[in-house]
Amino acid sequence: MPLLDEQALIDRVLAHIDGKTTDLADSVWHEPVEHYFSPERLDAELACVFRRTATPFCPAAALSEPGAYLAREAGGAPIVAVRGNDGVVRGFRNACRHRGMQVAEGAGCRKVLTCRYHAWTYNLDGTLRGVPDEYGFPGLDKDAHGLVPVGCIERYGLIFVTQDGEAEPDPALTQMEGLISPDHRLIAHDVIEMEANWKLICEGFLEGYHIRSTHAETFYPRQYDNLNVIEAFGRGNRVTFPYQSIERLRDAPRETWRAPGVLTSVWHLFPNVVISTFPKTHKITIVEPLSPGRSRMETFILTNAKDSAEDQKRVDISRAFVAAGAAEDRMVVSAVQKGLTSGANAVLTFGLFEGALTRLHREIAAAIG
């Protein structure tokens, strides 16, 4: 079903406030705890979910000019995405065709990609450009030794990558059109590693049942506890968290209602990407599994605010507010991972308030078969 527009979304939130209700799932879900620390389960998730699904690799704003590249591990494999001189973004397995060394690290801008081991050099389109002392490789077919491509496509302000199949994202994601505008620019990129299964980290974004108890000093004074609108969105979800400032709209003409400043929407792109909208910033969080009990979070902060001192101050306030709440979530998630290994629980029970979590696990189970 299509997502609610701003006015309909605000209508539903106000109805929940008045009725002291929230969106409810159809049923409770029981997820086996072993799925959070089983190597076999993670192998299945990587093979059947991560490598076969078109998932955001980075925002397009991270590759804003020809030669701009970003290299990171995705789905358990090193991948590099680079914008060519023709303006097209391409993705490659980040491995030299000589001995397998990565040809790029981190992020930057280059005219060519060069392996640090033996200096084999590749053009931005992946073709092999140069081999030092090439006479030592008689018969080398340079055309057959370019970087190995992966599916890569630019859509909705994001770069999507698929390692096993086409890169075209879920058609339902057309509803994201305009969420990230051409005016959005990248202002921060952070990497954090956590002692937690990747699913636990994603789950923390997808319910508001924990707002009062976990975020008593940060989100709760401004938001509501256990009040969310949850909408199916392709294989993922859009979960909306209202601010108490939404009350001011009750006396305003309905046609003037707008979401910024009164709603935060969390767009979950299956399986491991979350886009959170705030008044002056968008936060893109990509969660990559490193092992069953360890994950890496790649966080990109975008803004379309002006460069004025006043707007910059608002951006800084927004970032500090979000960072404080995120630190609380990380603390809880790491503690949950420890608790799961205690043997206290055989399953995790997701209640009717946690329907987005249920949908995540149902889609993973369907993909694995």
Tell me, what DSSP letter sits at residue 344?
Answer: S
220 and 87 share one domain: no
**CA nearest neighbour of 246 among 257, 235, 233, 232:** 257
206 and 298 share one domain: yes
| Domain final residue, candidates 131, 162, 193 | 162
- Determine the Cα–Cα distance for residues 200 and 5; give it in Å rounded to an integer: 30
> What averages of pLDDT result for each successive group of 10 residues across the chain (369 residues)?
94 98 98 97 97 97 98 97 98 98 97 98 98 97 97 97 89 94 95 97 97 96 97 95 97 95 96 94 97 97 89 88 94 96 96 98 96
234 and 350 share one domain: yes
Give the pLDDT score at 311.
Answer: 85
Q: Distance between the two ends of the chain, CA-based, in angstroms?
A: 25
Kindly state whether residue 24 falls inside one of the protein's structural domains. yes
Kindly state whether residue 325 falls inside one of the protein's structural domains. yes
Domain range enclosing 242: 6-53+180-368
Query: In sequence order, which residues have a C-beta less than 8 Å from that of residue 149 and are 6 or more positions away?
Result: 90, 91, 92, 93, 126
25 and 66 share one domain: no
127 and 228 share one domain: no
326 and 361 share one domain: yes
Cβ contact 92:148 at 8 Å:
yes
87 and 28 share one domain: no
| Domain final residue, candidates 162, 194, 217 | 162
114 and 25 share one domain: no
140 and 251 share one domain: no
**CA nearest neighbour of 215 among 298, 322, 320, 315:** 322
Q: Report the DSSP pairing between strands 263-269 and 236-242.
A: antiparallel
Kindly state whether residue 230 falls inside one of the protein's structural domains. yes
Tokens of 212: 């009062």
Using DSSP's 3-state secondary structure scheme, residue 47 falls into: helix
Cβ contact 129:112 at 8 Å:
yes
Give the pLDDT score at 280.
Answer: 85
| Domain final residue, candidates 133, 162, 191 | 162
CATH number at residue 185: 3.90.380.10
Kindly state whether residue 146 falls inside one of the protein's structural domains. yes
Give the pLDDT score at 195.
Answer: 97
250 and 188 share one domain: yes
215 and 360 share one domain: yes
Give the pLDDT score at 9.
Answer: 97
Give the pLDDT score at 26.
Answer: 96
| Number of domains comprising the chain | 2
Kindly state whether residue 167 falls inside one of the protein's structural domains. no
191 and 304 share one domain: yes
- For every residue of 148-216, DSSP letters joined together read PEEEEEEETTEEEEESSS--PPPGGGGGGTTSS-TT-EEEEEEEEEESS-HHHHHHHHS-STTHHHH-T
CATH number at residue 65: 2.102.10.10
Kindly state whether residue 175 falls inside one of the protein's structural domains. no
Helix (H) or strand (E) holding 318: helix 309-340
Kindly state whether residue 174 falls inside one of the protein's structural domains. no
Quickly count: other Cβ atoms within 10 Å of residue 173's Cβ: 23
Kindly state whether residue 125 falls inside one of the protein's structural domains. yes
